[in-house]
Amino acid sequence: MPGRAEFLESIRHRTRRGQYKPTNSPDSAWTPGVDRPGREEIEDPPARFIEELEALGGHGKRTESLEEAREYLLDLTREREAKLLVRWDVEYLDELGADEPLREAGIEVAIWRDLPDLRKITGRADFGLSTATWAIAETGSLVLEHGLGRGRSVTLLPPTYVAILPADRVLQTVPEAIRKYAGGTLPANVCFHTGPSRSGDIEMSLVVGMHGPGDVHVILVG
């Protein structure tokens, strides 16, 4: 067991600006008014998003079409031996057309609607599937708007979470994403999700999947 000095130095190392950087994202991406060096121009935001997501332990995939995205999802559910998938009730996922192929493969599909037992269903699901409003290249983050047909539980409770969105929804920076909501009416709930859930609450020991999905996949289409 490490001594007191080693324990305190570990905390200093992980909280000192610039000392603990598993990704290329800026130290002060989230803090307005903080002096920071000029951000680099990101030439290929989808490629940078996937790079940052994978640095955090997530999985990124870029496909040419929804059909290719559907095949990736089907292969993933077979690999994980899924029994139940719950998804958002949105048009983009209707267009994906994965419901029937999943059912033919023996996987139950539950669609998020206003049913009294849906949270219980989501709690025992193997997969959660949603789209995202935006993705952020510099941090590997998803911007999720929750509301009617788009329950938060779908993105939090299942151990494997998959998000599918068009590649042209990838923004370069966090401030760019925040500006999308400036001066307008905010949705009821907006969340920034960055990679698999991780917690270091106990003795700075990192645990993946503690407060949300530990297995995160993002498919960028186009």
Which pLDDT belongs to residue 162? 98
Which pLDDT belongs to residue 76? 97
CA distances from 80 to 74, 85, 106 (A): 10, 11, 13
Which pLDDT belongs to residue 25? 60
Pairing mode, strands 207-208 and 198-199: antiparallel
pTM score, whole prediction = 0.80
Q: Yes or no: say if 45 and 171 are a contact pair by the CB < 8 Å rule.
A: yes
* Alpha-carbon span 186 to 174, nearest angstrom: 17
Which pLDDT belongs to residue 208? 46
Where do the domains of the chain lie, and which CATH numbers do they carry?
A: 42-221 (3.40.50.10420)
What tens-digit pLDDT sequence spans the chain (222 residues)? Answer: 456 677 667 666 655 555 555 566 655 455 555 555 566 788 899 999 999 999 989 999 999 999 999 999 999 999 999 999 999 999 999 999 999 999 999 999 999 986 678 888 999 999 999 999 999 999 999 999 998 899 999 999 999 999 999 999 999 999 999 998 887 778 888 999 998 855 545 555 544 444 558 899 999 999
Q: Would you list the DSSP string of 132-191?
A: -SEEETTTTEEEEEEBTTB-THHHHSSSEEEEEEEGGGEES-HHHHHHTTTTSPPPSEEE
Cα angle, residue 207 at apex, residues 194 and 173 outer, rounded to 5° = 15
Which pLDDT belongs to residue 207? 46
